[in-house]
Amino acid sequence: MILGIGTDLANIERIQRTLDRFGDRFKNRVFTSIEQRKSERRLDVAGTYAKRWAAKEACSKALGTGLRMGIAWKDMAVSNLRSGQPVMHVTGWAAERLREITPPGHEAVIHVTLTDDHPWAQAFVVIEARAIAGPGKDASSQA
């Protein structure tokens, strides 16, 4: 079952201006060290940050809160699998909120996709609740 859906569109040029103006102060407030390392290695540094910014906004919307109620920017972090697929990790209050909205007998799975086409970066987040398979049962029999 779907627990939440969120999307966000970020302007890459706006993120570039913010990076130019605030530099490390902005990066350290919003992005984890893993996100910073990934972004700084890319040819399009601002575009990579913008996609992660959009993913955090989209995740907060999928959690049903937006960026309020105690969620911090770094409570949501994007990393990539070896295949390049983006993965959203939540900690702190975002993880607490995720536990609150996940029904008993289910586990939450966060799906994230990122794209950009200058000057725009976009993210979609879908939070899914999957039934936890019990002994001798598969997940489909618990629906």
Distance CA 130, CA 111 (A): 12
Question: Which pTM was predicted?
Answer: 0.89
Distance CA 107, CA 48 (A): 29
Asked if residue 142 has pLDDT above 80, the reply is no
Model pLDDT for residues 90-139, shown as the tens digit of each residue: 999 999 999 999 999 999 999 999 999 999 999 999 999 999 986 655 54
Q: In this structure, what token pair is assigned to residue 59?
A: 């995740």
Please check whether residue 92 is in contact with residue 103, taking contact to mean a CB–CB distance below 8 angstroms.
no
Model pLDDT for residues 1-38, shown as the tens digit of each residue: 999 999 999 999 999 999 999 999 999 999 999 999 99
Q: In this structure, what token pair is assigned to residue 50?
A: 């913008």
Domains belonging to the chain, first-starting first, are: 2-134 (3.90.470.20)
Distance CA 108, CA 106 (A): 7
Alpha helices in 31-91 (DSSP H): 33-41, 45-62
Model pLDDT for residues 48-95, shown as the tens digit of each residue: 999 999 999 999 999 998 766 667 899 999 999 999 999 999 999 999
